Amino acid sequence: MSKAEYIYRVEFKEPPLSDDSRTDFFFHSVSAIYEVFTAKQIGCKVTRLWNIGVSHGNPYEGRRCRITKEPILRKRRFKPV
């Protein structure tokens, strides 16, 4: 069985970008979130997310957004015999 993989889902209460109406964004790492958004847009610094340990079942709930860690589900591939 392969190692489980995860994504971070950032759900904003209001669209964070003036030219984009999306409120859900997906990232491969916590630090990747801060490549797109500022700490002011998120509502906390990256060190805070690392310290609280955002994980499945332990989301970050802020005034501006919610950040959760979600498993990626994949179909298992079988090699032909």
pTM, two decimal places: 0.82
Give me the pLDDT at residue 81, please.
67
Give me the pLDDT at residue 75, please.
80
- Range name among 40-44, 47-51, 65-69, 76-80 with the lowest pLDDT average: 76-80
When the pLDDT of each residue in the chain is averaged and rounded to a whole number, the result is: 88
**Residues with Cβ within 8 Å of residue 33, at least 6 apart in sequence:** 8, 10, 25, 27, 42, 46, 49, 67
Q: Give percent of the chain above pLDDT 90.
A: 58
Is residue 69 helix, strand or coil?
strand
Residue 1 has pLDDT above 60, yes or no: no
Radius of gyration of the chain (CA): 15
Task: Give the C-alpha distances (Å, rounded to integers) separating 35 from 1, 31, 73.
Answer: 32, 7, 25
Residue 47 has pLDDT above 80, yes or no: yes
